[in-house]
Amino acid sequence: MITFMVERFSDVYEELLPLLHAHYGEISTHKDHDVPLEPMIEVYRAREADGSLMMVIGREEGAIVAYLVAFIAPGLHYRSCLTCSPDIFFVREDKRTGMAGVRMMRFVEKELRRRGVKRWAMGSKVQHDASALFRYLDFKPVETMYEKWL
Amino acid sequence: MRNFLKIAEGMNVKPLLNAIYRKPELWKADDFLRKFPQGPFGETDTIYLRFQDHVPVETDEELQLYQQNKLAGHDLHECPWRAEINELPEARALIMALMTATGATRLGRCMINRIIPGGQIFPHADSKWHAEYWDRYHIVIQSEPGNTFRCGDETVWMREGEVWWFQNAIEHEVLNNSANDRIHLVIDLRF
């Protein structure tokens, strides 16, 4: 069974690192441009300290098998709109056959509602499309992001 | 949060944890809660440090009087120390420190609960007569990531060395989805 909990970046980062590398290896376009995975730990720590970082961790028998990292703050253009902005989310490959992703998103939604968040944004990669998951959870598509490597 | 309140952290619980590891036979001294008919604690081991004496009642009327705390000669809430406390003076020190810090006036049940990896305390609310009289505190002796404690619509992971109040009058449950035993010292206080 996988259970989800809000955990602290400073507690969990070292344990999370192997999955971050697996995540990077699977989906990042940066690796194709020789940009290594090199998280700015001090920034995450600062955001943890100011309360704007949320890390939801999914565990099975104590081991991390899923995570969602997001930032929560008032919208820069919308002071009254507490907004959850995406950073990353991942479910370990061997745990994707069940409802782990859906259960994690539902846990996140419950936590965001508890915190009074009004707008929750999530991204879906073109090469690793999670649109079906988000539509199933009643998200509406509102934007496509492009990138150009220079 | 409405159902949980962390009141302290960084309590030195290692001496008690060490004593518990040195004396594993204490877990099996009493299995009242584990064998409670249809109770939520089938997967929980408990060391009872303070608990009510068993009161033999002969009639339903006596039982009702006892549950209303009106049975002559008995105080429903009185919890004497059990012999196990003499084996764990480290627990007494933590309990008394909590009483002193909070200004409590009466000490009720004190017990150490252990849930094995994968084990759980099933959803339940504590008895009304008990939950209305006492406030429930947890001192976390051992708890690794993967433990969840839900009370109402709120869920927390209580970390080692932390002290929490929680609202045991409403439905709550515990799941140990970590790879190690979850061990809490549970204390009832009256103010």
pLDDT at site B68: 81
Interface TM-score (ipTM) > 0.90:
no
Q: What is the pLDDT of residues A85-99, one digit of tens each?
A: 999 999 999 999 889
> A81: which 2 tokens?
């709109």
A5 chain-B contacts, CB cut-off 8 A: 145-146, 148, 155, 157
Between B40 and A107, residue with greater pLDDT: A107
- Inter-chain contacts counted by CB atoms under 8 A, chains A and B: 44
* Prediction pTM value: 0.84
Q: Give the residue numbers spanning the domain of B179.
A: 4-190
Are A11 and B177 inside 8 Å of each other by CB?
no
* Crossing angle between the packed helical segments B14-22 and B89-102, to the nearest 10 degrees: 150
For B134-190, the pLDDT digits (tens) are 999 999 999 999 999 999 989 999 999 999 999 999 999 999 999 999 999 999 999
Q: Tell me which of A1, A2, A4, A5 to substitute to probe the interface with B (most B C-beta atoms closer than 10 Å).
A: A5
pLDDT of residue A98: 83
Q: What is the pLDDT of residues A15-65, one digit of tens each?
A: 999 999 999 999 999 999 999 999 999 999 999 999 999 999 999 999 999
- What CATH number did the domain enclosing B89 receive? 2.60.120.10
Contacts 24+ apart (CB under 8 A), B68-72: B68/B129, B69/B129
Ordered structural domains, chain A, with CATH: 3-136 (3.40.630.30)
| Residue A146 vs residues A29, A83, A84, A126, B53: alpha-carbon distances, Å | 12, 22, 21, 10, 71
Q: In chain B, how many domains are there?
A: 1
